[in-house]
Amino acid sequence: MKLGSTEIIDTFAEAFGMRYCRVIVTAHDRHWLDAATRELCGYGSSVIACDAEVGIDHYLAPDQSPDGRVGAVVLAFGFSTDALGKAIANRIGQCVMTCASTALFDGLPDAEEKVPLGKQLRFFGDGFQKSKVIAGRRYWRIPVMDGEFLCEESLGVAKGVAGGNILIQGADQPTTLDAARRGVEAIEKIADAITPFPGGVARSGSKVGSRYKGLRASTSDPYCPTLRSRVESQVVDGANCVLEIVIDGASEEAVAAAMEAALKAAAGEGILAISAGNYGGKLGKFHFHLHELLKH
């Protein structure tokens, strides 16, 4: 199958079930909103070593946000509810509460599973914190030096999907970088999906395990162009750069839509092939077949 001059390899991406939170950060203006979300999403690319996978889903205009200010919806993914709860509370306490003018709201208020947030962060108020229930939701007001940090007592947790991906194989680095950016920009228009790696792109795709004891993951040598003569290479002839877009989503449908959008946007002149990473279907229960996605 081809999209223009780009071959779409007949393979599939293998993704995993994970837990996720949806948080809404608001601030005085876009400058302070960006400052908070950069910190909140930092070091959040992969749970191989990070405590969570985190990214911005979309931005909110003042008339769309809970407190009439600019806002951003951030999704955070973890392997378990407990691990995610610890990670998100730490990140909000250190990265959002510390940022001037911000407030924090739960984006999944109807979720059955909950993890504590204000219930923990309130202690920073040293006894001066106050709480109030509004429309059945409890908020905490924690005194800080620019006024108060407002946040909800708890955050909802729901089931999500992480690890959807495409592998873009280009003739050279500039061409492949451009294609990867097109793919990420297309995903930004899809609701409930994030690309947690830097700029939405991973150049250090990984495989499970390593020849070194204790290392959980190591470089995906079949997709390293410089190793094509030393391993069973999956790099197509003429390709000299491979970049991966990894996608986490609130649902299987969101990941599928994001992958489809990325495939169509990334294909083009100089992109010789697009494939996907999997583990033979043995590890993740969600399989996204590239040819099936393009039949829509």
Domain boundaries, the chain: 2-15+161-293, 19-158
| 4: exposed, middle or buried (Cβ count in 10 Å: 0-12, 13-18, 19+) | exposed
* 158: its two tokens: 């729901």
pLDDT band at 296 (very low <50, low <70, confident <90, very high): confident
- Average pLDDT rounded to a whole number, residues 93-107: 98
Query: Across the chain, what does the average pLDDT equal?
Result: 97
- For residue 280, is pLDDT > 90? no
2-15+161-293 and 19-158 have identical folds: yes
User: The domain 19-158: what is its CATH number?
Assistant: 3.30.70.520
Strand, helix or coil for residue 264: helix
Query: Mean pLDDT, to the nearest integer, of 158-174?
Result: 98
Burial class (CB in 10 A: 0-12, 13-18, 19+), 158: middle
**Range 2-15+161-293: architecture per CATH:** 2-Layer Sandwich (3.30)
Identify the band that residue 281 occupies on the pLDDT scale cut at 50, 70 and 90: confident
Other C-beta atoms closer than 10 Å to the C-beta of 27 total 24
Residues of the chain with pLDDT > 90, as a percent, come to 96
pTM of the model: 0.96
